[in-house]
Amino acid sequence: MNGDRKLRLGVAGLGRAFTVMLPTLARDPRVALVAAADPRAEARERFAADFGAKTYATVAELCADPAVEAVYVATPHQHHAAHTRLAAQAGKHVLVEKPIALTLDDARAMIAAARAAGIHLIVGHSHSFDAPILRTRALIDGGDFGAVRMIAALNYTDYLYRPRRPEELDTAQGGGALFNQAPHQVDVVRLLGGGRVKSVRAATGAWDASRPTEGAYAALLTFETGAFASLAYGGYGNFDSDELQGWIGEMGQPKAPAARAAQTFAGAGEEAAFKNARNYGGANYRPPAEQALQHQHFGPVIVSCDKADLRPLPNGVMIYQHGTARLEQLAPPALPRAEVVDELYAAVVHGRPPLHDGAWAMATLEVCLAMLRSAREGADVTLHHQVGLP
């Protein structure tokens, strides 16, 4: 760590998002997990045992803990705004999960609270933090391949059939693919396309009446530069686009091309209880397996520049040019999602402004909301809150 100190992190919400970040937060030498808050007693007990750290039933108490200098807000979307405000008012830096919020007004209020408190607000993890995406962006910035003209991104998963809380199946409460999956894909595409989307046209699919929220979408994004991007997402558990990624899964893990059996539940209560039991501290919680990983991804992406097509992959970036293909290899990650700590640590400890700040995430949310609106109205939607890359 070159004499640098550890960043003292408190966690708000010990659910699925936390367990996905846990291998990073527990093993990255730059981070000390010093406290957590969750209403679930079993999660608090496990956290206290695993990290010898303090736990609280409420986020307000967590934010009052002087040992905490930054809070990872990993509570359900509807709490992001209030929990970010609490942390900011207590002078803590904030890493808040995607999507930043459910409305642009809430996002704006979070940005204002961060600014008033003089703290950094970072939104993630999203898959635009993935090293192959950042490397592709660096190759574009290098200038050898010319301007970005077109991006194609697709992802086919079993998203809709993973165990859910009731609100995750209700679009009005932040459920569905547009609030939960599109923030990743839009963030990736915006990062590669330069950030500033001019207009959006989209169609959405909600095809299973028993899970009545969007499970699929297609969208065309046009950038201010004239570049355009097509996004396709299918979450109905049939085709699995990891087949096109060499059977490397979203978390960078090797994956068997096995059929996915959807779980069935007697009702929403049983499903939520099943999800909770698998969460941190629950009876069926299993820590993530430690295995050799490649880089994480959010499905196949191809970036067409003037002079080459670039394709980020779990092990590097393929460059297609003049009828040849070569791999710009990336070393396997020592830790998954270390890029999130890179950005958080640089901001909190070294005062370096983050890329994935509140304004960046609000622009991604604006695109996701515009996709919903475009599908509803059958029309193009013009955007007004876009920001570019620093």
Ligand X SMILES: NC(=O)c1ccc[n+]([C@@H]2O[C@H](COP(=O)([O-])OP(=O)(O)OC[C@H]3O[C@@H](n4cnc5c(N)ncnc54)[C@H](O)[C@@H]3O)[C@@H](O)[C@H]2O)c1
d(CA 360, CA 94): 15
Of 178 and 197, the one with the shorter C-beta distance to ligand X is: 178
Judged by CB under 6 A, the stretch of 8-16, 106-114, 195-203, 231-239 that binds ligand X is 8-16
Of 247 and 285, the one with the shorter C-beta distance to ligand X is: 285
Of 281 and 316, the one with the shorter C-beta distance to ligand X is: 281
> Binding marks (x or -) toward ligand X, 270..289, rule CB under 6 A?
---------x----------
Q: What SS3 class is residue 254?
A: strand
Of 6 and 165, the one with the shorter C-beta distance to ligand X is: 165
Dig out the tokens for 347 from the structure.
């901001």
Q: Does 221 bind ligand X (CB under 6 A)?
A: no
Q: Does 199 bind ligand X (CB under 6 A)?
A: no
d(CA 7, CA 19): 19
- Select the residue whose beta carbon is closest to ligand X and give its number: 15
Q: Does 180 bind ligand X (CB under 6 A)?
A: yes
Alpha-carbon torsion 12, 361, 242, 250, what sign? Answer: negative
Dig out the tokens for 74 from the structure.
């990993």
**Positions of E strands within the chain:** 7-12, 31-37, 54-56, 70-73, 93-96, 121-123, 148-156, 197-205, 216-223, 228-234, 301-305, 309-313, 316-321, 324-329, 381-382
Sole residue written with tokens 């990073």:
24
Which of 68, 216, 96 lies closest to 156 in space, CA to CA?
216
Judged by CB under 6 A, the stretch of 75-83, 139-147, 255-263, 375-383 that binds ligand X is 75-83
Of 18 and 223, the one with the shorter C-beta distance to ligand X is: 18
Judged by CB under 6 A, the stretch of 39-47, 137-145, 299-307, 373-381 that binds ligand X is 39-47
Q: Does 12 bind ligand X (CB under 6 A)?
A: yes
Q: Does 37 bind ligand X (CB under 6 A)?
A: yes
Report 91-110 residues binding ligand X (CB under 6 A). 97-98
d(CA 159, CA 16): 14
Q: Does 43 bind ligand X (CB under 6 A)?
A: yes
Show Cβ contacts of residue 203 under 8 Å, excluding neighbours closer than 6 positions. 217, 218, 219, 374, 375
Q: How many CB atoms lie within 10 A of CB 22?
A: 18
> Binding marks (x or -) toward ligand X, 283..322, rule CB under 6 A?
----------------------------------------
Residue 248 CB, shortest distance to ligand X, in Å, is 16
Q: What SS3 class is residue 221?
A: strand
Q: β-pairing, 301-305 with 228-234?
A: unpaired
Judged by CB under 6 A, the stretch of 34-42, 105-113, 236-244, 317-325 that binds ligand X is 34-42
> Binding marks (x or -) toward ligand X, 160..179, rule CB under 6 A?
-----x--------------
d(CA 366, CA 354): 19
DSSP state of 97: P
> Binding marks (x or -) toward ligand X, 114..143, rule CB under 6 A?
-----------x------------------
- Please give the size of the binding site for ligand X, defined by CB under 6 A: 24
Q: Does 87 bind ligand X (CB under 6 A)?
A: no
Dig out the tokens for 372 from the structure.
């919903």
Candidate residues 9, 11, 14, 153; the one interacting with ligand X per rule CB under 6 A: 14
Residues that bind ligand X (CB under 6 A): 12-17, 20, 37-40, 43, 59, 74-77, 79, 97-98, 125, 165, 180, 279
